[in-house]
Chain A
């Protein structure tokens, strides 16, 4: 047996409400460091809600209420000492649609580092190259760094967003359906990046084949509950729960 990987995110008995709506019901899960964890389930199952809780993106949602605890690297991210700004630096996020700023590629990547006080051009140059290389985009854009990020293709824009998140050297990257607005070629590039990233990635996807292709572990959510969580290959070849079986084989409801 391979040794169990180290847990970086631990959710303990998490309940979450949007007003009266009980969006997450007693969810407990340990997410491993340096692995890709996929969250699947039908619309409204709670998977995106759960993802957003991991970097406190629901803090300003009206009527939102959380019970239970979430720890990252052993520290509670909802505890009295937790600093949401610091948490969002450590836990980056990439969204469904590429959302580069209407600035140059270079300035997109520097945006976060400048906010945290990195100003020296030499330091920023190093950082931009490192982030773009990590996002597998450097070779494609190294000669056009002053070009607007808005002029890039969809797949390139999404990798600019990945690079922008990576520039802050996050411990964890959250991805909310990062390829659903991309064509198959761009999707393949982003997937390839995810597989080789050597980073803790938690990805929400509606595309089950994508979850099967790129993740180490998969969590299946249904109606706010975590129904099943396990190694991806096992979940897709011999799921333990009937609900999982019915969902992934398309025999739902």
Chain B
């Protein structure tokens, strides 16, 4: 029966999406460590791993398109395949943010090496890293288990990240206003907070796919 093979293919795709999620989570955890410990080697490792994630995006998108073209899926199969296309794109962007965060860590390391005036990272940055990573973990969990309750929790945390971003930006701007020599450092901090805020947005998008796959409801842009 054709369906047997189709189900095997869907299962393979599902495993690849999960694998991409695992890779991206590892990248972002690494980026967080690189940033908080200003660890150059870790940052390099994170940047290198981006290629794996990019390659997985292509594999997933190609497989999903092939399965749509050859099986004319409907109902939950169609929803899963449509979601896989979006998930691959979201996860790839999250991977990019991981790389970007690692580069910001390297930038700050360079500033310090060059003797540029810097300050310790604002205390809210570690908090923001922790919350963003936890959102990503919850979003991936909700996807794997079709758990819409966990997806709902992800939506709630997003606002906290938005607020933290604003607070950190204000703090960095006030440092820059007091001491213009710290503008480069301030710029890095503002960018880091902005990346983490974007990460939270992408985690929210992942959780929205959980709801779409489970219920067929498109809730994008409702939060």
Q: Which residues of A contact B (CB under 8 A)?
A: 208-209, 212, 236-239, 244-245, 248-251
Task: Select from chain A the residue with minimum beta-carbon distance to B214.
Answer: A238
B76-A245 in contact (CB<8A): yes
Closest-CB distance, A193 to chain B (whole angstroms): 22
A236-B2 in contact (CB<8A): no
Residues of B within 8 A of A248 (CB): 74-75
Number of B residues with CB within 8 Å of any CB on chain A: 16
B93 interface residue per 8 A CB criterion: no
Task: Select from chain A the residue with minimum beta-carbon distance to B72.
Answer: A209
A238-B3 in contact (CB<8A): no
A212 to B73 CA separation, bound complex (whole angstroms): 11
Task: Select from chain B the residue with minimum beta-carbon distance to A250.
Answer: B3
B6-A238 in contact (CB<8A): no
B74-A237 in contact (CB<8A): yes
A236 to B79 CA separation, bound complex (whole angstroms): 10
Given A237-B75, A245-B75; 5 other pairs, CB 8 A cutoff: A208-B74, A237-B78, A238-B217, A250-B2, A251-B3
Residues of B within 8 A of A244 (CB): 75
A237-B216 in contact (CB<8A): yes
A249-B72 in contact (CB<8A): no
Interface of B is mostly: helix
Residues of A within 8 A of B75 (CB): 236-239, 244-245, 248-249
Closest-CB distance, A157 to chain B (whole angstroms): 28
Residues of A within 8 A of B216 (CB): 237-238
B73-A237 in contact (CB<8A): no
Q: List 11 A-B contacts (CB under 8 A).
A: A208-B74, A236-B78, A237-B216, A238-B79, A244-B75, A248-B74, A249-B3, A249-B73, A250-B1, A250-B2, A250-B3
Closest-CB distance, A219 to chain B (whole angstroms): 16
Residues of B within 8 A of A237 (CB): 74-75, 78-79, 216
Interface of A is mostly: helix
Residues of A within 8 A of B171 (CB): none
Interface residues of B in 198-223 (CB under 8 A from A): 215-217
Task: Select from chain A the residue with minimum beta-carbon distance to B217.
Answer: A238
Residues of A within 8 A of B107 (CB): none
Residues of B within 8 A of A238 (CB): 75, 79, 215-217
- Of the listed residues B74, B79, B217, the one surrounded by the most CB atoms of chain A closer than 10 A to its CB is B74
Residues of B within 8 A of A245 (CB): 75-76
State whether A250 and B78 are in contact (beta carbons under 8 Å apart), knowing that A209-B72, A237-B216, A238-B216 are contacts in the complex: no
A244 to B216 CA separation, bound complex (whole angstroms): 15
- Of the listed residues A209, A248, A249, the one surrounded by the most CB atoms of chain B closer than 10 A to its CB is A249
B137 interface residue per 8 A CB criterion: no
B77 interface residue per 8 A CB criterion: yes
Residues of B within 8 A of A249 (CB): 3, 73-77
B74-A236 in contact (CB<8A): yes
A237 to B78 CA separation, bound complex (whole angstroms): 7
- Of the listed residues A238, A244, A248, the one surrounded by the most CB atoms of chain B closer than 10 A to its CB is A238
Residues of B within 8 A of A239 (CB): 75
A45 to B152 CA separation, bound complex (whole angstroms): 40
What 6 pairs across the A-B complex have the smallest Cβ distances?
Answer: A238-B216, A250-B3, A236-B74, A248-B74, A245-B75, A249-B75
Residues of B within 8 A of A250 (CB): 1-3, 6
Closest-CB distance, A191 to chain B (whole angstroms): 15
Residues of A within 8 A of B79 (CB): 237-238
Interface string of B44-82 (1 = CB under 8 A from A): 000000000000000000000000000011111111000
Residues of A within 8 A of B217 (CB): 238
State whether A212 and B74 are in contact (beta carbons under 8 Å apart), knowing that A238-B79, A238-B216 are contacts in the complex: yes
A244 to B74 CA separation, bound complex (whole angstroms): 11
Residues of A within 8 A of B77 (CB): 249
Residues of A within 8 A of B1 (CB): 250
Closest-CB distance, A198 to chain B (whole angstroms): 27
Residues of B within 8 A of A208 (CB): 74
A248 to B75 CA separation, bound complex (whole angstroms): 7
A249 to B75 CA separation, bound complex (whole angstroms): 7
A248 to B71 CA separation, bound complex (whole angstroms): 12
